[in-house]
Structure 1
């Protein structure tokens, strides 16, 4: 195995091991995203919602139907594993992230009558007691229910038309004597219940994009592809192999190139969708920097592979041309020698020179 082949194999192993945790994490997230627990829920009032999300903390779920053109948002917020002596709230902050300025839906169960109460509250202070107050946008059909340890708020909101992303937060706390809302916990998941969410299907399309792309890879390989397109790095990569009699050719190179190619080759639109997801979800800048670094490393590796492939495919052609030219020169020289031998036989150059002088003297 040549030194260059060993270097290529080492680089491939490094990139594959680097991408494996990300791919595993992304696959796990995709499977969980495609099969959320909220989709199997059936509401007692017969309501149906086009979309739902499993919220990351506090055993909460959000169901919603949104008409982008009119801004009408029909929403149901569910909080599971909750005692009846508790209150819940779900809010949209139309101006920024955080608690201040949030427009909340609040619900609790009356300790005396057992009847659910649901109302709206405009949060304008950290010391708020979630008093009932109107919101900055129109809200109708506010109601709530409590069943089997699960409390749900229903409402219909009218947001500004063409709203696509909202910052929302949710919370729960104890209900004190006299149905006064107590302070929620100030630690753990209670400080993480804030989220930036899309109101349309783009996020779901991004999550399902990876699974659909995985299915396309098989069809892509079966239906064939054009080797003239340089971005088909899976084809060029598989074409670059070690010597014919190398023990590594049919085993290591075949496996590594196929896995790496199937993971990275079909990323033209996938990269765009990932960056779009960064804009929507707004994670820390470190994630975006790390992803960019990995993409750059894979791109540099692809460029190196293209150079090696070009050298392997076309370099021999240039060498062959020079060899053919050298062979042609040698063939022409041999022809001249044969002509000389046929004309003069076994005479040496000295004999020819002597004959030339002799011919001159006779004349």
Structure 2
């Protein structure tokens, strides 16, 4: 109540107790949470389990009524889960698969341009889902005041990289025989791989923020390891295919020359 005094006692790192009174001069928000304290006496992050996230509300000390914020918490939790699912599927799974398709399918002559259309369709769908995931993250940050600076900055960087990749691929892709095609290929390759590395890192960062989803983090790591193993196998197959093709072409060239 206004005009009253609150009594505060804190355990210090040396084992002593510091006690003091603090006058209450205005109404404000009171934060109550359960967590651990580090060795230097600073507070560590509290758990993000549902019980912790739903443990707040408004208390009217005059009437004794307590109003819970369950609906708001549930809405925020749902949006956060949607944000995580959209970005994990788009940035963390679909885009690496799309890059793998573009890298390894084009060496097979029988596919023709099919590999390109599959690669473009897969990456376009992933980009659209990523836009929705990015928008949900901005909404959560602006509406609920939830900010995780590194996670947010990497997300913004990813959107810039992906947008640049799309614009360059659609509007500035030279013909295969063009003299500047080599520079376009280098740009496309570098942006692709930088985006994939940052995307995987940011997805893992997101799972760390939601620290009660360690099971999902392990499953995602399993998916990434599986994709990496498949990429290694495809790389070996590709090199064998290319080497055999070069050998066959050389033999055909020698035969034609002799005739």
Name the TM-score, length of structure 1 as normaliser.
Answer: 0.31
Which is helix-richer, 1 or 2? 2
Rg bigger for which structure?
1
Q: Which structure's residues are more often strand, by fraction?
A: 1
